[in-house]
């Protein structure tokens, strides 16, 4: 039997962190060896995951100095994820990053650190396998429907907009669709931002409301017809198969992997 993969969860007191800690703890091939969250206080339990055999700590680097790990899973926030990943990679710990908001410069630096330390870093905008299929189907549809807009809807606590999934979707569509002429210069926004943001000529609209988890629809327009591809994440448990799969597959990889589709 192969040795268990030792896993640390960073952002362990958040909703995704708690769900992830449970999934890791329940998998026979993984061993949960650390719960990290800057909000952790001495004697605190890990929220709904309070029956786990660990208490959350608030210092990632200090924990890694004392306890070895194979993989760190990060579900923190855009302000913390880059530094967390640097610390883990410098300790030769593979990283699985579900936090969105990293820019191109940060991604390139993390890739360099991973290669230098001979470990892997997986940056996954969306761990839902259905969401990955949505993006791949949209990429195929873009060959025939080059006119497209993206609407992404998330809970009101999400800090970044647009979502990493929307950005990744726009990138994948742009790889396939034909070049489009500029839109009419006569278009008038009565309220700034009403037409959404624009990336690679694709409009992206972000909705933030209580009641949502993570949702996205891609609307294609053609002559006399439209095509809509939509994915809905109704519960965070739906992300867990993708998280666990990524943790197991990042072992042995060196460098940067971007997107869950690379592992399918």
Give the range of the structural domain holding residue 247, as residue numbers without chain letter. 5-123+237-263
Q: Does 94 share its domain with 140?
A: no
Domain count, the chain: 2
Q: Does 76 share its domain with 184?
A: no
Q: Does 11 share its domain with 118?
A: yes
Q: pTM for the whole thing?
A: 0.83
Q: Does 90 share its domain with 138?
A: no
d(CA 169, CA 155) in angstroms, rounded, equals 19
d(CA 216, CA 78) in angstroms, rounded, equals 20
CATH number at residue 174: 3.30.360.10
Q: Does 22 share its domain with 48?
A: yes
d(CA 114, CA 26) in angstroms, rounded, equals 28
Q: Which residues contact 248 (CB under 8 A, 6 or more apart)?
A: 5, 29, 30
Q: Does 146 share its domain with 189?
A: yes
pLDDT digits (tens, 9 = 90+) for 71-104: 999 999 989 999 999 999 999 999 999 988 889 9
Q: 21 to each of 18, 121, 135, 161, 240, how far by Cα in Å?
A: 5, 19, 27, 26, 10
pLDDT of 2: 64
pLDDT of 242: 95
pLDDT of 180: 74
Q: Does 138 share its domain with 228?
A: yes
Q: Does 257 share its domain with 151?
A: no
Q: Which 3 state secondary structure label does DSSP give 81? A: helix
CATH number at residue 14: 3.40.50.720
Q: Does 13 share its domain with 114?
A: yes
Q: Does 214 share its domain with 251?
A: no
pLDDT of 1: 47
For the chain, list residues with pLDDT below 70.
1-2, 42-51, 182-185
Q: Does 10 share its domain with 112?
A: yes
Catalytic residues: 154, 158
Q: What angle do CA 71, 242, 108 make, to 5 degrees?
A: 55
What mean pLDDT, rounded, does the chain reach? Answer: 91
Find residue 8's DSSP bridge partners: 34, 72
Q: 236 to each of 14, 17, 35, 58, 92, how far by Cα in Å?
A: 12, 10, 18, 24, 29
pLDDT of 185: 67
pLDDT of 49: 46
Q: Does 203 share its domain with 160?
A: yes
């Amino acid at each position: 039997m192969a040795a268990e993969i030792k896993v640390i969860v960073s952002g362990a007191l958040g909703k995704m962190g708690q769900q992830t800690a449970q999934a890791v703890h329940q998998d026979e091939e993984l061993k949960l060896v650390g719960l990290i969250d800057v909000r952790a206080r001495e004697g605190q339990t890990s929220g709904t995951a309070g029956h786990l055999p660990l208490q959350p700590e608030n210092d990632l680097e200090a924990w890694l100095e004392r306890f070895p790990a194979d993989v760190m899973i990060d579900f923190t926030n855009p302000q913390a994820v880059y530094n967390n990943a640097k610390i883990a990679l410098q300790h030769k710990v593979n990283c699985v990053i579900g936090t969105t908001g990293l820019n191109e410069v940060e991604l390139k630096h993390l890739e360099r650190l991973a290669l230098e330390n001979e470990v892997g870093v997986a940056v996954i905008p969306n761990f839902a396998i259905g969401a990955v299929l949505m993006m791949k189907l949209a990429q195929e549809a873009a060959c025939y429907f080059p006119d497209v807009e993206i609407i992404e809807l998330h809970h009101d606590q999400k800090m970044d907009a647009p979502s990493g999934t929307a950005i990744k979707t726009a990138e994948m569509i742009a790889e396939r669709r034909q070049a489009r002429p500029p839109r009419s210069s006569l278009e008038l926004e009565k309220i700034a931002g009403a037409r959404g943001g624009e990336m690679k000529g694709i409009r992206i609209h972000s909705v933030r409301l209580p009641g949502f988890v993570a949702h996205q629809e891609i609307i294609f327009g053609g002559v006399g017809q439209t095509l809509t591809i939509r994915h809905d994440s109704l519960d965070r448990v739906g992300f867990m198969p993708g998280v666990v799969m990524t943790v197991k597959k990042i072992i042995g990889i060196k460098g940067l992997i971007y997107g869950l589709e690379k592992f399918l």
